[in-house]
């Protein structure tokens, strides 16, 4: 072999060896990918585990509570380690054996789920509800401001009140006003959300809401749409109904649990007092029922004055004759009239609102109200 031939041979061997090491490398990468995909495939094959809560532990067995509220007596697997009541665990779907503990603390932050605020609403911004305001001041404000007075006299004030009346009559407004005047924390809960959004958690939420109120006392717990939680039920059949009932029972237990002078007051609100379960308005619970009516003539004028207070009004405006045209409108609708009147002025490039704007606005809001009333009649009959 001459030197030329040798050098050709060398280069062939070299290129062969590099290509073989490339193939090896490719082979390795492919094997890795296959393994990864196999693992991924295995993950897809595993049945999901159920998240549940441990209620009681008896050695290697335990009672767990499933999200739907059912409870089971099950085994605890060896690998799981020690479980305690209150732990959140994963259980097999078929036999519910506890397989793994997960580090979720049971205490979730209730403040993320309810509205907590210190409202600034003065009594002056509530129009035409003098009697109702006085009653709320007596049963909510006075005990929060002067508990010693009640101790001296030897009576216990109500723990809560129920405001009932048509939509837009000022129930939420009143609750905020009393929170504001007593400088209380205002915790707003919408009962229908409590039962719909937090399925299986309703009772726990109620408990945490009252704990939060005690922590932030003086506090007012405002439960809007109370009828969603506290409606009369003839028979409790579906698991959804059982769940609502459990949440309701927890609410009653919490109301019964705190003392009348505990610096926490409950205000319920509803448009449907007729369907409320009497249990919630029994003595010692929300036993003061305050009707918030649709405003009559004088009340309408007062509300109108409140909502036109900051408006740039033309000289031709006669509020009392306007208010007499707004029969059957709620406070919210009177406010809507003011806003609409403002829009009519804006559309005509004016900054002063004139009588005609109000007339058009009243017409518009009245028509809307009529249409709504018709819908309501069609729905309920």
Ligand X SMILES: Nc1ncnc2c1ncn2[C@@H]1O[C@H](COP(=O)(O)OP(=O)(O)OP(=O)(O)O)[C@@H](O)[C@H]1O
Asked if 184 and 219 touch (Cβ cutoff 8 Å), the reply is yes
Question: Shortest gap between Cβ of 163 and Mg ion (angstroms)?
Answer: 9
136 sits near ligand X (criterion: CB under 6 A): no
When CB distances are held under 5 to 8 angstroms depending on the partner's kind, the choice from ligand X, Mg ion, none that residue 306 binds is ligand X
Asked if 282 and 238 touch (Cβ cutoff 8 Å), the reply is no
Rounded to 5 degrees, φ, ψ at 138 are -70, -45
Q: Which residue has the tokens 């409590």?
A: 194
Question: Which pairing describes strands 160-164 and 264-270: parallel, antiparallel, or unpaired?
Answer: parallel
- Which listed range, 74-82, 95-103, 171-179, 338-346, lies at the site for Mg ion (CB under 5 A)? 171-179
Rounded to 5 degrees, φ, ψ at 238 are -75, 165
| Identified binder of ligand X from the candidate list 331, 358, 361, 365, rule CB under 6 A | 331
Question: Shortest gap between Cβ of 301 and ligand X (angstroms)?
Answer: 11
Question: Shortest gap between Cβ of 225 and Mg ion (angstroms)?
Answer: 8
Residues numbered 261-320 forming contacts with ligand X, rule: CB under 6 A:
271, 303, 306
Question: Which CB sits closer to Mg ion, 97 or 184?
Answer: 184
Question: Which CB sits closer to ligand X, 127 or 160?
Answer: 127
Question: Shortest gap between Cβ of 172 and Mg ion (angstroms)?
Answer: 3
When CB distances are held under 5 to 8 angstroms depending on the partner's kind, the choice from Mg ion, ligand X, none that residue 169 binds is ligand X
Neighbours of 96 (CB within 10 A): 18
Which letter, b or e, does each residue of 258-297 get, where b requires 16 or more Cβ atoms within 10 Å of its Cβ?
Answer: bebebbbbbbbbbbebeebbeebbeeebbebebebebbee
Site size toward ligand X, by CB under 6 A: 17
When CB distances are held under 5 to 8 angstroms depending on the partner's kind, the choice from Mg ion, ligand X, none that residue 331 binds is ligand X
- Which listed range, 50-58, 120-128, 188-196, 200-208, lies at the site for ligand X (CB under 6 A)? 120-128
Question: Which CB sits closer to ligand X, 305 or 350?
Answer: 305
| Calpha distance 109→322 (Å, rounded) | 49
Asked if 212 and 187 touch (Cβ cutoff 8 Å), the reply is yes
| Identified binder of ligand X from the candidate list 119, 128, 158, 268, rule CB under 6 A | 128
Question: Shortest gap between Cβ of 171 and ligand X (angstroms)?
Answer: 3
| Identified binder of ligand X from the candidate list 246, 265, 288, 335, rule CB under 6 A | 335
Residues numbered 159-188 forming contacts with ligand X, rule: CB under 6 A:
167-173
Question: Which CB sits closer to ligand X, 203 or 303?
Answer: 303
Q: Which residue has the tokens 């905020």?
A: 176
- Per DSSP, the three-state class of 361 is helix
Mark residues 127-166: x for contact with Mg ion by CB under 5 A, - for none.
----------------------------------------
74 sits near ligand X (criterion: CB under 6 A): no
> Which DSSP helix (H) or strand (E) runs through 26?
helix 3-45
HEC profile for 169-237?
CCHHHHHHHHHHHCCCEEEEEEHHHHHHCCCCCHHHHHHHHHHHHHHCCCEEEEEECCHHHHECCCCCC
330 sits near Mg ion (criterion: CB under 5 A): no
Question: Which CB sits closer to ligand X, 164 or 248?
Answer: 164
Asked if 180 and 159 touch (Cβ cutoff 8 Å), the reply is no
Alpha carbon separation from 244 to 195, 210, 236, 249, 320 (Å, rounded): 6, 18, 10, 9, 47
- Which listed range, 82-90, 121-129, 240-248, 367-375, lies at the site for ligand X (CB under 6 A)? 121-129
169 sits near Mg ion (criterion: CB under 5 A): no
Q: Which residues bind ligand X (CB under 6 A)?
A: 126-129, 167-173, 271, 303, 306, 331-332, 335
The residue ranges that bind Mg ion (CB under 5 A) are 171-172
């Amino acid at each position: 072999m001459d030197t030329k031939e040798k050098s050709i041979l060398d280069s062939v061997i070299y290129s062969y060896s590099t290509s073989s090491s490339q193939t090896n490398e490719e082979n390795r990468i492919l094997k890795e990918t296959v393994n990864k995909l196999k693992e991924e495939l295995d993950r897809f094959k595993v049945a999901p585990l159920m998240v549940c809560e441990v209620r009681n532990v008896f050695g290697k067995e335990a009672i767990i509570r499933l999200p739907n509220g059912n409870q089971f007596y099950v085994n605890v697997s060896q690998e799981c380690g020690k479980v305690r009541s209150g732990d959140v665990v994963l259980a097999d779907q078929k036999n519910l054996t506890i397989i793994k503990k997960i580090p979720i603390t049971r205490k979730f932050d209730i403040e993320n789920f309810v509205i907590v605020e210190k409202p600034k609403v003065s009594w002056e911004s509530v129009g035409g509800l003098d009697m109702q305001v006085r009653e709320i001041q007596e049963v909510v404000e006075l005990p929060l401001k002067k508990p010693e007075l009640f101790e001296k006299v030897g009576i216990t004030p109500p723990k809560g009140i129920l405001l009932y009346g048509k939509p837009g009559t000022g129930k939420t407004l009143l609750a905020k006003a009393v929170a504001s005047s007593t400088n209380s924390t205002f915790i707003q809960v919408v009962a229908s959300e409590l039962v719909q959004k937090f399925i299986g958690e309703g009772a726990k939420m109620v408990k945490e809401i009252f704990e939060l109120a005690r922590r932030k006392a003086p506090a007012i717990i405002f439960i809007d749409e109370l009828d969603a939680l506290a409606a009369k039920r003839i028979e409790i059949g579906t698991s959804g109904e059982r769940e609502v009932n459990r949440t309701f029972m927890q609410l009653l237990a919490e109301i019964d649990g705190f003392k009348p002078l505990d610096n926490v007051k409950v205000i319920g609100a509803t448009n449907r007092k007729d369907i409320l379960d009497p249990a919630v308005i029994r003595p010692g619970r929300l036993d003061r029922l305050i009707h918030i009516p649709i405003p009559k003539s004088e009340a309408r004028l007062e509300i109108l004055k409140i909502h036109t207070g900051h408006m740039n009004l033309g000289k031709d405006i006669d509020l009392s004759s306007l208010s007499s045209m707004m029969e059957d409108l709620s406070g919210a609708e009177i406010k809507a009239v003011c806003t609409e009147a403002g829009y009519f002025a804006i559309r005509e490039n004016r900054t002063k609102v004139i009588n005609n704007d109000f007339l058009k606005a009243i017409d518009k809001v009245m028509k809307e109200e009529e249409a709504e009333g018709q819908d309501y009649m069609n729905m309920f009959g």
